[in-house]
Amino acid sequence: MVALMLVNLSLVCAAAGSTSIAVSTGTVQVGETVTVTVSMRATENFYAYQMKLNYNAGNLQYVSGADAGGAGTLNFASDANGSSVSRSVTFKALATGNCTLSLADCMYAHTQEVGVSGSSATVVVANKEQSNNANLTSLKLNGGTLSPAFSPDVTAYTVTVPNNITSGRLYANTADPAATVSVEGSSNLKEGQNVRTVVVTAPGGAVKRYTVTIIRQGADESSSEASTVSEPENNPLNVTVNGAAATIITDTSVLTVPTGFNGIKTQYNGVEVPVAQDNNYTIYFVKTADSETPVLCVLKDGAFEPIKYLNANNKFYIFEADGKSVPEGYRTAETEIGGFTVEGYASNDSVFNGYYFVYCYVSGQRDYYRYDSSDNTIQREPEFTSGKALAVNTQEDPQIEENENNGFFARFSSLSTNAKITVIFIAAAIIAAIALIVLLIIKAVSHKTTNEPLPDELEEINLANNELIFTPEDIAETEGPALEETVDEEPVEEIDQTETSEETDETEE
């Protein structure tokens, strides 16, 4: 990948190219995806480019397609071979509202770096149309088996239970998590026929009734001892998340499996539910009354706990606690990443303000990552460990000298792109100035040895070895061969004594 460095802002020429943003649909419903295509066109071929796409992370969630970024800003930077380039990214609609997409910091490299004007577009995120799906996906009775076998389209069932079953509890799961369920009829079973009805009301108002006829056998028909079943009458997928009521989602059409995970199904309270799983995590998708999108949770000690995560750079980052003490030279600090408040470490050095080091689980590996809050980027920082952080701030550590020598590079890597360009430009100017001085010195020496007139700026050169100052008049009075021999071989005694004695006397006087 070629990185573009704009070292001279005067090279920017907005008329040399253009950008555009196209969306697959102008209106998208919550939970659905939309594809955004950004393009750059120029009047000449270019070999590299960069663009930055800004969006409202409260309305749209980045899924895939960019080179870097997330949480409100996506970056595109790559090689090119032609006069145009297009990139497509996928977003998932999170919440209702108008979301503005805008391109900024666009440029391409030809014989020089050329800036291109940005562009913008708008995506409207609307509420889903109210569903009229009043189907059940499962229906069970404690202590008996439905006949016929359950099917969402079958609404009448019969089940026979032994005499010792005195309570008939029904368990139902709706196809639409937003649908409501109520049960008519008593759960206390008398001998003989008992009728219970499950009433399902869809968000759009549609109603469907499932009737279950429960036949309790008489005492002479069953020798089993009587018992009472006291399971609660509710949806077996109803759970609690942070003290709030929630329901495990079973509709896979509204779910997106995170990168690095496999979408499988598992059992929860006897009901098959979809989860995302790898070697270390099993993630459940839960719907709460306050959430427009699924809440991602893990099951710990029988309780559902939401995870904090970031979906960016075609990776799925899960933020974890590292369980270590605060490294010397750092402090604990909180920052907003991907809509979550994440705790990490921040340097006590003000030079690194805006940088946070967080501990993440990514693709089966745990490591430290550096988050830049100024441009919403995150990258792996494996050398940020408690041991090395302490070494940087410990006077007696034997690695202190090496860490100090590497301090410049650490600070340079933390600079923004514009700051890095400025530093490189200044360094190049210093090197060019040194090279020019060296060339002038070489030119001066060359003039002296060939007996050519010196330029005015080099009229006097102080030769420190013999403490003599030669002027153009002195050089004119000295014969070329004698001067060359003096300069090349240094000893004054080897110069013709007759010819130089008078000059020597004059100099001594």
Give me the mean pLDDT over the 190-213 stretch: 90
H helical segments located in 91-148: none
Q: What percent of the chain has pLDDT over 70?
A: 74
pLDDT of the residue at 297:
96
Tell me: do 209 and 150 sit in the same domain.
Answer: yes
CA nearest 93: which of 70, 69, 125?
125
Q: What is the CATH number of the domain that holds 215?
A: 2.60.40
- Strands 156-161 and 120-126, by their bridges, are unpaired
Residue 363 lies in a domain: yes
| Band of residue 344 on the pLDDT scale cut at 50, 70, 90 | very high
Tell me the one-letter amino acid at 195: V
Positive or negative CA dihedral for 374, 376, 377, 383?
Answer: positive
CA–CA gap between residue 332 and residue 347 (Å, rounded) = 9
| Band of residue 212 on the pLDDT scale cut at 50, 70, 90 | very high
Tell me: do 209 and 245 sit in the same domain.
Answer: no
C-alpha Rg value of the chain to the nearest Å: 39
Tell me: do 169 and 278 sit in the same domain.
Answer: no
Give the 3-state secondary structure of residue 312: strand
Residue 290 CB contacts under 8 Å (≥ 6 apart), including other chains: 244
pLDDT of the residue at 202:
87
Residue 487 lies in a domain: no
Tell me: do 24 and 83 sit in the same domain.
Answer: yes
Asked whether the predicted pLDDT for residue 341 surpasses 70, the reply is yes
Asked whether the predicted pLDDT for residue 137 surpasses 80, the reply is yes
Its domain, for residue 56, covers: 9-126
How many residues in total does the chain contain? 509
Identify the domain boundary among 235, 265, 285. 235
Rounded (10°) angle between helices 480-489 and 417-449: 120
Tell me: do 220 and 168 sit in the same domain.
Answer: yes
Q: What is the chain's percent helix, strand, coil content, to nearest 5?
A: 20, 45, 35
Token pair belonging to 384: 């940020």
Identify the domain boundary among 359, 394, 414. 414
Cα end-to-end span (Å), the chain? 71
Q: What is the CATH number of the domain that holds 66?
A: 2.60.40.680
Residue 4 lies in a domain: no
Residue 208 CB contacts under 8 Å (≥ 6 apart), including other chains: 134, 135, 136, 155, 199, 200, 202
DSSP states of 188-239: BPPSEEEEEEEEEE-TTS-EEEEEEEEEEPPGGG--SPPB-----SS-TTEE
Residue 340 lies in a domain: yes
Question: Which residue shows structure tokens 């109210």?
Answer: 130
| Structural domain count, the chain | 4
- Is residue 179 a contact partner of residue 146, using CB atoms and an 8 Å limit? no
Tell me: do 26 and 122 sit in the same domain.
Answer: yes
Give me the mean pLDDT over the 141-167 stretch: 86
Tell me: do 247 and 226 sit in the same domain.
Answer: no
Residue 505 lies in a domain: no
pLDDT of the residue at 258:
92
Identify the domain boundary among 414, 431, 463. 414
Give me the mean pLDDT over the 330-340 stretch: 91
For 93, the enclosing helix (H) or strand (E) is: strand 73-93
Residue 348 lies in a domain: yes
Tell me: do 66 and 106 sit in the same domain.
Answer: yes
- Is residue 318 a contact partner of residue 336, using CB atoms and an 8 Å limit? no
Asked whether the predicted pLDDT for residue 384 surpasses 60, the reply is yes
Tell me: do 76 and 148 sit in the same domain.
Answer: no
Residue 464 lies in a domain: no
Tell me: do 39 and 68 sit in the same domain.
Answer: yes
Tell me: do 388 and 403 sit in the same domain.
Answer: yes
Tell me: do 167 and 109 sit in the same domain.
Answer: no
pLDDT of the residue at 220:
73
Residue 504 lies in a domain: no
pLDDT of the residue at 453:
57
CA–CA gap between residue 209 and residue 105 (Å, rounded) = 59
